[in-house]
Amino acid sequence: MKISPLIRAMNAQPKIEHLLVHTGQHYDEKMSKSFFEDLDLPEPDINLGVGSGSHAEQTARIMIAIEKVFLQEKPDLVVVVGDVNSTMACAITAKKLDIKVAHVEAGLRSHDMTMPEEINRLCTDVLSDYLFTTDEFANQNLLAEGVSQKKVFFVGNVMIDTLLTHLDKARELDVWHRFGATRGNYVAMTMHRPANVDEREVLSRILEALRIIAETLPIIFPIHPRTARMLRSFSLQDQVRSLAECEGTITSGIWSCEPLGYLDFLNLYMNARFVLTDSGGLQEETTVLGIPCLTMRPNTERPITIASGTNVVVGNNPERILKSANDVLSGNFKKGQIPPKWDGKAGERIVDILSREFSL
């Protein structure tokens, strides 16, 4: 989702030669291959196929594999996006080979060092030569950390580029209808973070809050492989019903399905009453679409979605989840507005800046 606008903008610049590398960190077919198809991305030029493992194992495999690519291809610049292990691993490897690094989505901070993503962000930003930011909060974070102003470029949000590009196509779908729901009368949900799903007591409390919400509105829950595994491990899978077993209109309850492709999921949540999530990107997308978002985390690296948007951080506290859900259902919820430069042109700005920097 973050690469697609960059590829599109680079393709419009004939002097830029680029290679697309898929590390294989996200290797589930429904969470990877379908995204390439939905976003009209070309097949990766190189697929490292690193797969799963501990953070150390995965990062090490990426570094070993990507070093061979860099030594063979000798790029002038490596562009990394987001905050996953691939982001940090490729940035470190490139800098050790004296290759310049550009980080898209730089400067985001949760100030929570228990999050692996926060470590990845900090390491990547320290090493990067070009830091492309989404909002003023990110700019301030980088400057407070001593980053030179010359390295920081406020360009907007590539996730929103992708959202706006595919909005019309997503509107043509009827995923909510296929699931037996009615527009605006269900909750769309994602949940996969270890802090929410890796402890039985925490997961049980969240499910109890969800059960109460689902007495009023059904919850449609495309389920992450990690979450599905933990539900089975804790013998909690019976609390989540399968949409595959649903006949006709869904009624009260928490209903799960397989992970959805980008367009299908966009259609699902853009027609929901509100969204429950522990994702980062959904906080941004719901802000642009004006959909209430309840973020089940203790913090967010995207405070712009709280300050300007439709996001409220509720943690995994059942009382806070229920209170905010009731606020939405009673109409007592903030409307929000779209942040500056979230206009669908961030990818173009990034490529224009790089073209000037490299005198193309």
User: What tokens were used for 150?
Assistant: 């010359």
pLDDT at site 25: 67
Cβ-based burial of 169 (10 A; exposed 0-12, middle 13-18, buried ≥19): middle
Chain length of the chain: 360
Indicate which residues carry an active-site annotation: 192
CA distance 128 to 78: 10
Q: Which residue shows structure tokens 């030029």?
A: 45
CA distance 138 to 302: 8
Do 162 and 342 meet the contact criterion of CB atoms below 8 Å apart?
no
256-294 CB burial, b ≥16 within 10 A, e <16: bbebbbbbbbbbbbbbbbbbbbbbbbbbbbbbbbebbbb
pLDDT at site 30: 54
Cβ-based burial of 44 (10 A; exposed 0-12, middle 13-18, buried ≥19): middle
User: What tokens were used for 93?
Assistant: 């490897």
The sheet carrying 219-222 orders its strands as 241-242, 254-257, 219-222, 187-189, 274-277, 293-295, 311-313
Which of helix, strand or coil describes residue 172? Answer: coil
Residue 352 CA to its chain's centroid (Å): 24
Which of helix, strand or coil describes residue 277? Answer: strand
pLDDT at site 190: 97
pLDDT at site 245: 83
Evaluate whether 4-157+342-357 and 171-329 have a shared fold. Answer: yes
pLDDT at site 52: 82
One-letter amino acid for residue 33 of the chain:
K
DSSP string, 195-241: HHHSSHHHHHHHHHHHHHHTTTS-EEEEPPHHHHHHHHHTT-GGGSE
Note down pLDDT in tens along the chain; length 360 residues. 999 999 999 999 999 999 999 998 655 555 566 778 888 888 899 999 888 889 999 999 999 999 999 999 999 999 999 999 999 999 999 999 999 999 999 999 999 999 999 999 999 999 999 999 999 999 999 999 999 999 999 999 999 999 999 999 999 999 999 899 999 999 999 999 999 999 999 999 999 999 999 999 999 999 999 999 999 999 999 999 999 888 788 989 999 999 999 999 999 999 999 999 999 999 999 999 999 999 999 999 999 999 999 999 999 999 999 999 999 999 999 999 999 999 999 999 999 999 999 998
- pTM (2 d.p.): 0.94
CA distance 158 to 165: 11
pLDDT at site 51: 84
Q: Which residue shows structure tokens 């009453």?
A: 273
pLDDT at site 121: 98
Residue 223 CA to its chain's centroid (Å): 15
User: What tokens were used for 77?
Assistant: 């610049």
Nearest partner of 321 among 207, 181, 215, judged by Cα: 207
| The domain over range 171-329 is classified in CATH as 3.40.50.2000 | yes
Class of domain 4-157+342-357: alpha beta
Do 142 and 133 meet the contact criterion of CB atoms below 8 Å apart?
yes
- Whole-angstrom CA distances from 273 to 186, 220, 270, 305 are 6, 11, 9, 18
Provide the residue ranges of all domains of the chain, joining segments of one domain with +: 4-157+342-357, 171-329
